[in-house]
Structure 1
């Protein structure tokens, strides 16, 4: 007899991917990955290739978090506090992109690819900052829900 295959959660990878990208967090992470790839291409095409490290690191870390959240591994691996890890990832990503993008836009006279990478980097910095803000709101709401009365007198 065959096993029951009418479960509600998506079982194959493509269905999980489609379902997760439709969520707010999934669409933000997907946009961060795509923007990081565009920035990587722009920085690689410029005369100064040293800025590609920021785009590579941020894209790789965003892909890791995307896969962890998509496959619900954050609910299975309890050793890591995934919300705070994601907060730190998004916050450092916003800082790195904003700082390096400002440097690229200011320094990039005559190098169109560097200026384009800087502009896309500023957009990515804003997106990472928005992600940081949404994670902060999640942390704040989780704290208010778990906070109980502090009066121990009964």
Structure 2
């Protein structure tokens, strides 16, 4: 007899993946992973490959958060404030990508792969900045809805 529970859980995971990628947050995280992978390839092909460590770290962090949000683990592990953690991840990624990419675009004369990595890094920095902005709007809208009660019966 074949065990059908394993294949149905795999199909369930695939369905979660497909449905999460269609959400705005899933689309942004997918874009971050994809652009970071392109930056890794460009910096790996350049003469100075040391700049790829930032892209590797940011891609791994984006993949971890993609997995956490896709499997809805953020609703199960309430010890960590996932929204604020994601805000810090995206904000730090945006700042670091913009700094490293500007260094590579300005100082990469003669190395086309380094300049291409810098240009894609600038795109990644803007994508991470947009992610930071959307998370900030989410936090702002959540804090406005939770107003303190005014109890006049004291």
TM-score by length of 2: 0.90
Structure with the higher helix share, 1 or 2: 2
The separation in 2 between residues aligned to 1:20 and 1:99, in whole angstroms, is 31
Q: Secondary structure, in 3 states, of the residue corresponding to 1:12?
A: helix
Q: CA RMSD in A?
A: 1.3
Q: Secondary structure, in 3 states, of the residue corresponding to 2:78?
A: coil
Q: What is the Cα deviation at residue 81 of structure 1?
A: 0.1
Which blocks of at least 5 consecutive residues in structure 2 are unaligned? Answer: 1-9
The separation in 2 between residues aligned to 1:11 and 1:153, in whole angstroms, is 54
Q: Which 4+ runs in 1 deviate beyond 6 A?
A: none
Q: Does 1:67 align with 2:67?
A: yes
Q: Secondary structure, in 3 states, of the residue corresponding to 1:36?
A: helix
TM-score by length of 1: 0.90
Equivalences, count: 144
- Measured against aligned partners, the alpha-carbon deviations of 1:58-108 in whole angstroms (never above 9, x if no partner) come to 000000000000000000000000000000000000001000000000010
Q: Aligned runs of 1:14-29 on 2, under 5 Å?
A: 14-29=14-29
Which blocks of at least 5 consecutive residues in structure 1 are unaligned? Answer: 1-9
Q: Secondary structure, in 3 states, of the residue corresponding to 2:148?
A: coil
Q: What is the Cα deviation at residue 11 of structure 1?
A: 6.3
Aligned match of 1:47? 47
